[in-house]
Amino acid sequence: MNNLKKLVSVAAVGTLMLGLVACGGNNAPAEEEAVEENAAAEEEVAE
């Protein structure tokens, strides 16, 4: 019974870690692209 609890808890932790990796990605590149797009749009307006 004790081994079953350990197995279930390890499986639960693994599932949660995979969820964090899949959904909790780094958004820095997307933010940088948005800043670059805004800068390009402002340059077009300035011209």
How far, CA to CA in Å, does 44 sit from each of 4, 23, 37?
63, 35, 11
Which amino acid is residue 15, in one-letter code? T
Q: In sequence order, what DSSP letters do the residues of the chain get, joined into one string?
A: -HHHHHHHHHHHHHHHHHHHHHHS---HHHHHHHHHHHHHHHHHHH-
pLDDT digits (tens, 9 = 90+) for 1-47: 999 999 999 999 999 999 998 887 665 555 566 666 666 666 666 65
How far, CA to CA in Å, does 40 sit from each of 24, 35, 43?
29, 9, 5
pTM: 0.48
